[in-house]
Amino acid sequence: MNIAVVGSINMDLVYLVPHIVQAGETLHSTKHELFFGGKGANQAVTASQLGANVDFIGNVGADDFGELVKLNLQDKGVNTAAIQKVGLTGQAIIQLADSGENSIVLFPGANFLVTAEQIQADRERIEKSDVLLLQLEIPMAVVEAAANIAVEQGVHIILNPAPAQQISNSLLSKVSILTPNETELAILTNLKTETEEDLFQACSLLLQKGVGAVVVTLGEKGSYYLNQNERGHVQANQVEVKDTTGAGDAFNGALAVGMCRGNSLRESILYASKVAEYVVTQMGAQPAIPTYFRVNK
């Protein structure tokens, strides 16, 4: 299972709060912790812990945080040879409420200094992969450059369109599996996403633009999926939530592993859901994942 990840690497500064702060409100944090994060790094660490060979292309800062986050990826089994040091390491300032809900402010830092030329220089890492994982915490030109290489070599692309923004039809046509949440789906399609029929109409529009399959993550409601052959809803199991940060990233990393194993789309979604459900019971976006998940499909 060879997976390439082109994306972001952050240090997460987490503040535990009674509730998400409101406009104009000053709120005391009950605890402060540092965690490793970044959507790309979270996905890479999940896939690596599930047994995949993961190559990462991206940037960290030429600072103390940069050294720490790169060492963490290495410790988790991710190949970091294509990670460069430039500028300041990206950061996420996260409020984590007692309810498990979170609010995030991103400082992109070195993540926005990744270039298309950098991707071209390490293109062989994408070319040898079975799946390319992409997100949108790096410049869109970099995402498109990586996708172009993957398409040329017949590599499957899983794109998590977060943070939410418009995506060109050209890029959408290259995506094997698109994994928005409800908000991201609404922004991509300018359609409602309140009911299952709404989800069907919005996902259908994306299929018309050339996306192979759409998997909509719905939080505690599970996920909805649609491709040219089937559609369905995967229910989420109820778990004791400690931290939802990184749940979607764990889902994407596990989805890539499921597809690499040759599982069907639904089987891969079920597997990814189980992994994400475990992750939200732990603190931080990159918790240790039990080896049970390596053999359980």
Secondary structure class of 276 (helix, strand, coil): helix
**HSE of 260 in the Cβ direction (CA atoms, 13 Å)?**
28
Burial class (CB in 10 A: 0-12, 13-18, 19+), 30: exposed
Find where tokens 């030109």 sit.
141
Q: How far, in Å, CA of 185 to CA of 43, rounded?
A: 20
Q: How far, in Å, CA of 115 to CA of 124, rounded?
A: 16
| Token pair for 210 | 């050339």
Question: Chain-centre distance of CA 242, in angstroms?
Answer: 19
| Token pair for 272 | 């990814």
| Token pair for 218 | 């719905």
| Token pair for 3 | 């997976």
Catalytic residue among 12, 130, 243, 249: 249
| Annotated catalytic residue 249 | yes
Q: Which residues, at least 6 apart from 12, have a Cβ–Cβ distance to it below 8 Å?
A: 34, 35, 36, 37, 91, 92, 94, 245, 284, 285
Q: Which residues are catalytic?
A: 249
